Every structure is written in structure tokens, then in C-alpha cells.
Structure 1
Amino acid sequence: MISLVSSSVASLVALVALVALTPALAGYIVRSVLKGFGYLNQKKSEARRALIRARVRVEEEDYRSRRARQTASSKPSRLEEEDWETVDKDGGSSSTSSGDAKNYNDWAGIVGFFHPFCNAGGGGERVLWAAVDAVQKRWPKAICAVYTGDHDVDKATMLKNIERRFNIQLHPPTVVFLYLSTRRYVLSSTWPHFTLLGQSIGSLIVAYDAFTLLVPDIFIDTMGYAFASALSHYLFPEVPTGSYVHYPTISTDMLESLDDASGSKGLNSGAGKGWKGVAKKRYWHAFAQLYGWVGSTIDVVMCNSSWTSAHIQSLWLPARRKRGIQYQAASVVFPPVAVSELETIKIDLKSEREVRQPAILYIAQFRPEKNHQLILHAFARFLKQYNATAESRGSKDPKADSESDGNSSRSPQLILIGSVRHQTSDETHIYNLRLLAHELRIRDNTTFLCDANWPTVIENLRKSSIGVNAMWNEHFGIGVVEYQAAGLISVVHDSGGPKQDIVVDLDDEGATGFHATTEVEFAAAFEAALALPEEEKLAMRLRARKSAQRFSGQQFEKKWLCEMEKLVELQVKRTSA
């Protein structure tokens, strides 16, 4: 009897142990299978890897040969003279200390940048290309492989677009473009229902597509597809992963917006009503937990603003600590802005009177979340009041006395500048915006500039008085920093990065712009900014320019390379272990 009881107890203990170990055992099996797939994938891509290196060597020799001929016949270009001569001689940029073994100055690995929409021309793309530029200067022997779905743009055209849009000149031989065939799976239109989960699953498909093309030595997601980095972690544990987060896929603000009754908190504002709303809340909360687990697998995390960092920390940090990730906290790496180039724009009384016009400038991609509609409505309200005030002063046509009364009497203009992702939805969106401008009777005072080049952007920054941004919880706002560097008075949405990081009071010197939320508030801010006395306008413009120094390209490069060195060190340690 005692023997029977002992046997039963032993069986029960064994059963409990098996149940307890089953999740861990299942997890171990899944990880092993994924690692096996990764190993086979690496073996298959070795030939392509060797081919890429051979092609880079050929292009490098051809580039140096052409540069030698150019140098013999004429003065070298700025890029060759200032950047690459320094790199060739010193083996790295001056922003990092030389002689320190941990800097791995001769590192010659392949950095894979996961950015399926690299030709989009927005702020995220500026970050990508500035990052590639920094890596090229810091590690001249490294190869920067960019995974893209832009099949309609070849390498030469892409590099020209980068220089035209962002004034960034890359070293062509060590930039490689790998063309994805599955980009459609990360489009929101592909997933009309359960879009967050669908796009995340889609990013896994696209990432696997990328890995079949090439397995890099370091994998960096620069678009915000955290699931892609997680897949890399499980397929290739020895490959360090990095993520530059522009905007959390889901945030507590998004969850709160479902219960917002004002309708001013993004595209899903007030969508939590009824049984569908309750279901959506539960779905979003479940996805937030999944998103936190995914973020715990990434080695190095960078965020573009304090707002983004706060949300990423709340979602990812607990799981990262539990997993024991070496670099647990996310770093804030502000996006690069062409601050030094824009400082050529003069800020003085003469420019205020002769160059600046009562123009309101909005630089943003033509996408629904940028909320161009709000600005069109606010501008229509402001213009109506402006014209009524002008008429009450005896001027039936505000344009008529622009010759005699200076810039202040010119009719205000709204200038919308932005790139277009050549998709039907975006083109339809622009058409609807033009239609709205017509319906609001501000068509003659509104200008749309699609895919404008950099000189056009600078010219409009030079002549405009106000820079506006209307996106709710804009993750950062590169355009807003450009406004500040150019001396514009900013009027931004009272949320996100523009509120927390950019349009802030400069120490004890005063404000650098205005915040607004509603149509009425934006219209009032336009009126208040244009009504400022000349001296106060100049003072605010100068404060804004001083504030913009925090977001220069040099500051970005310094912080980016600091994070990159962590990834390079991890890669060297893992491959040599």
C-alpha cells in the first residue's frame, strides 16, 4: 500500500514537473527550429554575400579611378575633398576617439538597413540616409545594404534623389540596394481589418524576404517594424539588432484616444464606443503586450524624441529587464536637421520688411494623419477674419496696397510642401485637399508643392513667416526644426514631440512659438504671430534658431555613432566567441 502511494506521488510530481516544463520546452524547440532555419538561410546567402563584396570592390576601384582623373583635370568636389579624403587617411570621422581598441576602426562588416520605403522622401528617410552617411564616414570599409521595395528606382537615381531632397551625398560604392518583392504586406490597405496585427505579420514576411537576399552582420530597422528585428534575433542570434523608433506601433495615448469625445486625437479618436469599440480596446491591449515582448528582443533601441522614448520605455523596458538585455534603456537620438544650411537665411529688420511675407508654410508628407484638413479650415477662418479687418480699415482688397504699406498688407498665403508616396490613396488624398481648398474659397491663397526639391524648400523657408504642424502626437517633427532654424515662428499641435522637445521656452529668454489644438486655436495663433511687433518677431525668430541647434546633423551623427559602436562591439564579440 505504501509502495502504491509512493508511486502515485512520484507520478504526480513527474506530471506537475512536465506541465511546468512544457512551456519552456516548447519555447526551446521553437527557438531551435528558427535557429536552424536561420543557419540554412545563411548558408544559402553566402554566394550572394561574396558577390556583393566583389561588386563593391569593383565599384570602389572604378570610383577611385574616376576621382583620380577628375582630380587631375579639375578641382575635387566638396564630398571628395572634405569627406572622403579625411576618411581615407584617418580611417574614421573625427567625432570618435582614435586609438581606442573598442572603436573597431577597421570593422568591415555589412550593416543591413531595413527600410522598405526608402525613396519616400520624408523625415524617416532623412534619418536613414544620415545614418548611412555616418556609418560610411566612421567605418569606410563597411557595406551599407538597404532593403527596399522601390523597384522603379535604380541606384544612381536613388542617390540623386537623396542629394536633391536632403543634400546628403553618399559614397556610392559601399551602398547596396536589395529589392524586396513582398512590400505590399506592410501596407495598411492589405489589412483592412486588424491592421496593427496584420502589418506586423506582414513585416515578418517582408523581413524574411530580406534575409533570403542577404543576412547582414548587423540588422537595423529604421522604419519601426519591431517584429522584423525580433525575427532576426531568433533566426540569427549572433547578428546584433538595432531599432530606430520614429513612432510606437501602439501607445497608451492611442488606447486613451478610443474614449476621446472631442475627435481631436488622431484617426481613431472616439472609436471605443459600442461592442465594436470594446472589442477594439481588448485587441489593442493584447497587441500592446505582444509589442512589449517583441521589443524585448532588440539589442540597441533608439527613439527620435522624448515622447516616443517615454512610450517605448513603458511598453518595452519591463520585458527587456526580465530578459536581461545588455542595453536596456532606449536612447533618445534626435533626427538630423539641416540646421547649418538654413542658418544662411538672414534674420534682421531688412529681411523682415523686404523678404518675409505673411505666408504660412506646412512641410509634411501628404498623408491623412498629418491633418492638412485642419490647417485648411483654420487658414480659411483666419483669412476671412483678416480680410474683414482689412476692409474695416478701408482696404477692400488687401493686395492693393502692398506697394505702399510693406509686407504687412500682402494677402496671406498657405503653402503646403510634401512628398508623395506614389500610391493611389495618397494621390486621392491630395486631390481631396485641393477640392477642400476650393470649397473653402481659399484656392487662390493656397499653393500645393509635391515632391519639391531642396532649393525650393529653402526658398519658401526664407520668405515665409509662420511654420505650422497639425499632426496629433507627431512623434518628432523635423519640419518644425527646419522652421526654427530658418527663423519662422512655429504654430504646432499641442502634443507629441513638437510640444515636448521642439517648440519650448528657451531657458529664461522666452517662447519660440505657439501651441494649438482646434481650428479656432490655430486661426488665433496665425493672427497672433503675424500681429507681433517687428522687434518681438525678430526676438522670437532668433530664439527659435538658437533652440534648433539641439537638432543639428552633427549632433545626430555623434549620438548615432555612439549607438552603432555598441552594435559593432556586440557583433565582434559574438562572432569571435
Structure 2
Amino acid sequence: MDISLLLLSVFFSVVSCLFLPSILTSLGEVIGYYLRRASRTKRELLLAQVSSEQRNYSSEKKQPQSGEEDGWEKIESYAAGTVPNGGKADQDWKGIVGFFHPFCNAGGGGERVLWAAIRATQNRWPDAVCVVYTGDHDVDKTAILKRVENRFNIHLHPPTIHFLNLSTRRYVLSSTWPHFTLLGQSLGSLVLAYDAFNLLVPDIFIDTMGYAFALALSHLFFPSVPTAAYVHYPTISTDMLDSLSVGGQGMNAGTGEGWKGAIKRRYWHLFARLYCTVGSTIDVVMTNSSWTQAHIKSLWGPYRTRRRPNVDSDIDVVFPPVAVEELEGAVEVSEGSEPKRGPYLLYIAQFRPEKNHQLILESFANLLTSYNGFPSFPNEAPKLVLIGSVRNSDDATRVYNLRLLAHELKIKDSVEFVCDATWPQILTWLQRASVGVNGMWNEHFGIGVVEYQAAGLISVVNDSGGPKLDIVVDIDGKPTGFHASTIHEFSEAFAKALSLSPAETLAMRRRARKSALRFTDRGFAEKWIKNMERLVKLQVGPAAKA
């Protein structure tokens, strides 16, 4: 079938189902039936492969380290206690969980959530199979899991995790949709989801990238398959709509003026309504911060209540997992460790446009022009270190352009780029740096900022979003960092952070580390498992009645 015809048919099927459910719900279930039947053989082959790999792994496996094992035993014990009647049937659940994450090998904070979620799921339900739908064709399973270990220090159980390669990922790339990008990418996610269901229909379907439309398609085709969304960032929000005005912030600031702007406003409002309707179909919704939760509640909440009046439609905040415990052990925060730190500003972020590396480079250049030395660092000049993953050629071009900008600003000798850093490399810089930076406007959460705090860095973050509301907040009535919005404000905050007295610096580092304790791997795992239990109960219920 021509892909454009498939796109249109899927789109109109979803929209028709959402707005005319009494007419076309049956049609969706018929399509779902044929998709199930078509993937039945693939399911059997997958389960046979899992059994084979499990036998081979069991014969070769080594004893796990006691510390890691004990930690997960505690989580398993905690989770088991939340299931009614001891939850033995749920504990022994052996279904297939499909994780929809087309860019799973990107190496960013969103991917850390994916791998930590799979690790928690594997430990809670050892016999379940976790399938990741991905478009990363250039790497195999071994390479992906090795990268997960190197980048995040997350160790997964290989036999029960498998990857299914999607051939249509290009339809969710912004470059594929130069006009009406929001709608185009959302429609593209329908094509991608259809591709996924052709490969395998899971027992539970979870989106961890923000493709709510894919979950709506699953609901249309497979009403008995529970769905969940882990929302890092709303596809559209009231802040985005407000940003269209002159004086707004973000990548679309001021684009809502004139007749073209009026069309864009109308288009965005119509898309927001469709996005809200789609969100009402999802069984379990998790958000990564209170900022994201507030936006998703305002968008999806009323629609979910109307569509599901007798169903638990609570939208839960599940803070992303951060290697807080590991950083506590690996990075010393004491008087003795202060001489090991230099006047280094560290920015850990993927090289994407919204991360606003340009703002940080310009702010750092402004700092250097007014730099007269800092008492705590008498023998060293400030240095900016940019660490991030490079996903594709667009990111590589972006890094090249940032290097050119550093050259134009005459700061190239004071800026270091570390692309696709390993976890040991990141640890080294967290031990050496003094200040952690975040420049993104309305960053949904900010895993890198928590890593700064856990390592005792003094954070200078954008005065918005999750870093402002959830992370860089007062502890014991005193600050853990600084907020800024403009070049001047960032430059001034950099100077303040580097000018603190030794006693003030160490006190703020310790408060920052205390703040980070709210965002541990264990805290994420506990909340993830609670929400997964809701999905397992929904899945077991229809199966038990069948």
C-alpha cells in the first residue's frame, strides 16, 4: 500500500474512532484482530528465542555483585507488598511489554528513563519479556546494551529484552515535515505504531518518548491491551501557545504575528484539542516533573474525566532516575576535595537546538570579558565543558556550528566539547567541575541538573520548567544554586557561583547533594513498579475472563 494512503487511512480511522466511537470502534477491532493474527507466529518465535537465550545465559552467568542484588531485592519486596492478596499471580506474570522508543540508542535523559524502567520491570517480573520498538538499525542488541552500561551504568538481563526494528522512523523526523510539523510528526507516529504492531502486538504497550497518538492507535486496534505514557514534555502546551506572541520565549517566539501567525495560532489550537482527545484514551499516565504534570493535567485532565468517569485517571509524577547513590560514592564533597575542583562550568545536554548551547556560549564569553580572577581559583581561568551525545548528522553539524561560534566569540581555547562521553568520562568532569549549567527554556525536568547536585556542583539553570520548580530549590531555607534567563543574568550567576567563599561554596555543595536525594534510582523504580502493577492488573483481568 502507498504510504501516503496508509497514513491518511490510519489518521482518519483514529480521528473517526475518537469522535464517532459508536460507528467505527468495531472497524478498529477488526483491524486489530488481523494484526494479532499476522504477528502470532512472530510472537511464538520470539518466546522460543527468549527461552533459548535464557538457557544459554543461565549456563554461563556469573554471580551478581551482592550490593546490586540486595538493592533490587529490596525493591522487589517493596513492590510485592503493594499487590492485593500477596500478588503471586501478578508476580509470576509472563507477558510481553512493548516499549515504544524509536530513538532508544540516543543516550539522553529520556533513554535513561527507558532503561531504568526496563531494569525495574525485569526485576519485578523476571519472566516478562521487554520488547523495544526502535529505528536504530545500525546497531545490534549487544552494542545497544553495552552502550547502556557505558553511558548510564545500567545492567540489564539480556535474555528477556529484545529489539524490533522499525522501518518507518523517518516519518517522525521534523525534517520530513517542514510545514505543519507538530501534526506531521504525530501522524508519522501513527505510521510508526502501525509498523510496530505489524511486527508484534504486545500485552502492554508503553510510550516513553511522547508519541501519544501511537497509544491512541493501540487503543483503537486493541482495546484489551493496557496503554501507558511516560510524558517528558507535552507535545503542545499553554506556554507554547503564549510563546507565539512578541516577547515570548522559545524557538517559536514571536511567530504568531501577522496573517501567517494567525493561521499558525489557529492550527496550534486545533492541534491542542486533538492532542487532548488522544490523551483521554491512555490508561496510565506518568509525568517526569510537577511542571509537566500541571500542563498535562490542564490539557488531558478534563477530557480523561469525561471519557473515563469511573476509571482511575490520576496523572502521577514519577521523577526520572538519576545515579544519585553512585555519584555520592564516586564524587567526594568535602574540604579535602575542594582543591581537586577548578573554575570549570559543565553543561551536560544532548546537542539539540532547544538545549540552547548558544546562550551558554555567549554568556560564558561575557563572563570572560569581565573576568578579573576569582579568589578560590587564583591560578586558573574559567573553562566551559560541553558534554552531549551526537545522535545523527544534524547533531554533528550543530556541534560544528557551535565550535565556529566559540571561535567567533574568541573563547575557543576556553571551551571543550566532549561528544558521546562514557560514564567514566562524565564522572571525571563531575569530580573536577565547580558549576553545573542548564540553558534550556522550560526544560521538562533536567536529569543533568540532578547529576550536578548529586556531585556537589553549584547549579546555574534557566529560570523556568523543572530545574526551577523541582530541582534547584531551597533546602533548609537556603539556595542550592542560581536561576537565570538572559546572557547578562547567566554571566552574573556564573560569576557569583565562582566567587563564593570556601565556606559558602562547601555549604551550598552539601545542600545541593541533600536536594538530589529526592531523585534516586530506587525512588523511580518504586513508583514505576506501582504504575506497572496497574497495567498488569488491567491486562490480567481480561485474560482471566477469557
- TM-score w.r.t. length of structure 1: 0.88
The answer on 1:96 being equivalent to 2:65 is: no
State the alpha-carbon separation in 2 of the partners of residues 499 and 136 from structure 1: 33
* Structure 1 residues 187 and 23, CA gap change in structure 2 (3 angstroms): closer
Corresponding residue number in structure 2 for 1:51:
45
Question: Over residues 333-354 of structure 1, what are the superposed CA-to-partner deviations in whole Å (9 max), with x where a residue is unaligned?
Answer: 00000001111211112211x2
Q: What is residue 333 of structure 2 aligned with on the other side? A: 347
Match runs of 1:165-564 below 5 Å: 165-261=151-247, 265-324=249-308, 326-344=311-329, 345-352=331-338, 354-386=339-371, 389-390=372-373, 407-422=377-392, 424-508=393-477, 510-564=478-532
> 2:10 — aligned with what?
none
Take 1:108 and 1:358, find their aligned partners in 2: how far apart are those partners? 52
Secondary structure of 2:76's match? coil
Q: Cα distance, 1:328 vs. partner?
A: 1.3
Retained in 1: the 8 A contact 2:231–2:288? yes
Deviation string for 1:348-367 (max 9, x for gaps)? 12211x20100000000000
Instruction: Give the whole-Å Cα distance in 2 for the aligned partners of 1:92 and 1:428.
Output: 43
Measure how far apart 1:294 and its partner are: 0.2
Contact 1:360 1:412 in 2 (8 A): yes
**Amino acid across the alignment from 2:237:** S
User: Residue in 1 aligned with 2:59?
Assistant: 65
How big is each residue's C-alpha offset from its partner over 1:116-169, in whole Å with a ceiling of 9 and x where there is no partner?
Answer: 000000000000000000000000000000000000110011110000000000
Structure 2: distance between partners of 1:184 and 1:375: 31
SS of 1:514's equivalent? strand
Task: Tell me the equivalent position of 1:35.
Answer: 29
Percent identical pairs in the alignment equals 60
8 Å CA contact 1:91–1:139 kept in 2: the answer is no
- Residue 383 of structure 1 aligns to which amino acid in structure 2? L
Query: Is structure 2 residue 118 aligned with structure 1 residue 132?
Result: yes
Q: Letter of the 2:459 partner, please give it.
A: S
2:315 aligned partner, one-letter code: A
CA–CA separation in structure 1 for the residues paired with 2:17 and 2:408: 61
CA distance in 2, matches of 1:432, 1:256: 29
Identify if the C-alpha distance between structure 1 residues 372 and 42 changes in structure 2 by more than 3 Å, giving closer, same or farther: same
In the alignment, the residues of structure 2 paired with residue 133 and residue 25 of structure 1 have an alpha-carbon distance, to the nearest angstrom, of: 38
2:314 counterpart SS class: coil
**Structure 2, unaligned runs of 5 or more:** 1-15
Q: How far apart are the structure 1 equivalents of 2:213 and 2:21? A: 17
Deviation at residue 288 of structure 1 after TM alignment: 0.6
Q: CA 1:461–1:83 in structure 2 vs 1: closer, same or farther (change >3 Å)?
A: closer
Asked if structure 2 preserves the Cα contact closer than 8 Å seen for 1:357 and 1:408, the reply is no
Query: 1:34 is matched by which residue type in structure 2?
Result: G
Q: Please give the alpha-carbon distance, in whole angstroms, between the structure 2 residues aligned to 1:481 and 1:86.
A: 21
User: Shift of residue 26 of structure 1?
Assistant: 4.8
Change (3 A) 1:292 1:502: same
Cα 1:147–1:536 change in 2 (3 A) is same
Kindly state the Cα deviation for residue 23 of structure 1 after the two structures are TM-superposed: 10
* Alignment counterpart, residue 152 of structure 1, candidates 125, 128, 138: 138
Report deviation, 1:92: 8.0
Contact 1:260–1:270 (Cα < 8 Å) also in 2? yes
Distance apart, 1:408 and its partner CA? 3.6
- After the TM superposition, which of the residue ranges 96-105 and 238-247 deviates more from structure 2? 96-105
| 1:448-476 C-alpha deviation (Å, 9 max, x unpaired) | 00000000001000110000000000000
Check 1:496–1:92 CA distance in 2 against 1; reply closer, same or farther (3 A cut).
closer
Deviation at residue 406 of structure 1 after TM alignment: 6.8
Q: Does structure 1 conserve the Cα–Cα contact (< 8 Å) formed by 2:75 and 2:522? A: no
Equivalenced residue count is 525
Q: State the distance in 2 between where 1:24 and 1:266 align.
A: 31
Tell me, in whole angstroms, the C-alpha distance in 2 between the residues paired with 1:91 and 1:473: 35
Partner of 1:574: 542
Q: Any idea what the Cα deviations from partners look like across 1:188-211, whole Å, max 9, x if unmatched?
A: 000000000000000000000000
Offset at residue 31 of structure 1 (A): 1.3
Q: State how far apart, in whole Å, the 2-side matches of 1:427 and 1:24 are.
A: 40
Unaligned 5+ segments in structure 1 are: 1-21, 71-75, 391-397, 399-404
Using the alignment, how far apart are the partners of 1:176 and 1:158 within structure 2?
11
CA contact (8 A) 1:92 1:139 kept: no
Q: Do the aligned partners of 1:492 and 1:516 also contact (CA within 8 Å) in 2?
A: yes
Contact 1:92–1:140 (CA<8 Å) still a contact in 2? Answer: no
CA distance in 2, matches of 1:305, 1:25: 31
SS, match of residue 152 in structure 1: coil
